[in-house]
Structure 1
């Protein structure tokens, strides 16, 4: 029994590091950036699909799609969500350096297919539970697709099997984990006092200064951007030697300095693109009678005004008659009785 538990823990850890993307800081930063751009009816729509105690703070749910997969964050229901694991990433053949949807996302079972599916579901008239689930998946998967190693090589599971040491660390890590959170953690600690809010302000400035592009709605372009980073940057160590699963790497300042700006650009672009998508969905989603404001015609409004005025006049007249009646009933009789003698 102990051996089985130990083996289960190993398997769980391996799948955990494969699926998890960006970590809580990265995912929440992207969603918070997106919310900063919401306009028109989008904030009201988001508020209707988030728990009341979060007051519409969608970034608090940015890692929901990861949290539901593991017993430490979803102890009673994680088995029910294992089907969603393959939706967090795309596997491409090693060094093919291009994305082929029919080859790499069979049956739309990948992060690209998931984004399209949950976008479509939010444009369809579904109940609130399904709409909420679709929204929580969508905000997370848009984050995942901007982490380059979520469109990584199939043989090493998106860099999970490429292992080594970082910044003279005692414990071994892997390339995927470094790009999820390791490099970000170094950045926060060194320059932002490990304060995620300060870091958000920095990424926000990057986002608003991004040059305008025509591909904010082009998921295939997002993937191509990732693959270019994977093939031209991520797998090369500090001596420009290709890293792979057969040998341990040693990475430090050089790798960090040339990588962190790429990560921050991906966070900023992910936030902007998610914001664009949410604003579009707020306009195109089905309008339910419960969230439509009653729009009254001018004739209906005029009729209501007349009825209100008549009602007020009736009340005033009633009060006047009541006052007069009370006044008369309180006055002494004006006639006297004549007395007779016998």
Structure 2
């Protein structure tokens, strides 16, 4: 299905049949491994002061009390972390919304939680809209998450981190928005930086980490404002995979780049229990190995079950975009 701007997109079904949307059934291989998780929404706020409940936070606190606190459980997030660690990935990547209200104490708690996966050089993070629920928190946020956003080249966004055969490029789409909106934006400077990082790391398996998908997978009030420009930069410079969060769903979409398609993969929340009517918590073990002139990308899905434990939900591989 063709989308505006030359993008193609399709939902990722629970059962991935061989050949569906260019996917292949995966076998067992060894290679560099990355655990991808997203949208943990860790309940770390510990109550609010009257000043903290001004503006958008007040509505978010009401939504949390009414429904969201049943959708995001710390016990599930902690079990997911234990399951990730049992698989001993080479790297862990989280694509935003570690917190709920953008409070400085939440940033500190989320950073401690991420540190449970390993030292900063083995864990990468990009913020989501809940890390920017109100304006003016960027400096505090980035200071708390500093070990997980440290770039190999200078400071600021976007960052680039070379790990083994992989180049991870992190883009922040976290911006403050009005009530009832959860949009994101990268901005021209980040888009130029993204293009430069992707161009400078050709030959490596280039993986973009971003919270809002750069394809037409979100509702308008939650979409990435400059998604077409972000997608165009990725298509121009090339990439092997884009990992995102935000929608709390298993999603696969594509960025058309001439004769190839670049996969854009989203995951459910890392803390949702089963039986809520929403996709239960899931993380992915991504294995990157050499294949011809490009890279083979295989993905193992691990999801929470009715017993509260994590189990395999299926494997698939993506066609090389190199």
Larger radius of gyration: 1
Work out whether the TM-score is over 0.5.
no
Which has more strand, going by share of residues? 2
Structure with the higher helix share, 1 or 2: 1
Give the TM interval when normalised to the shorter protein: under 0.3
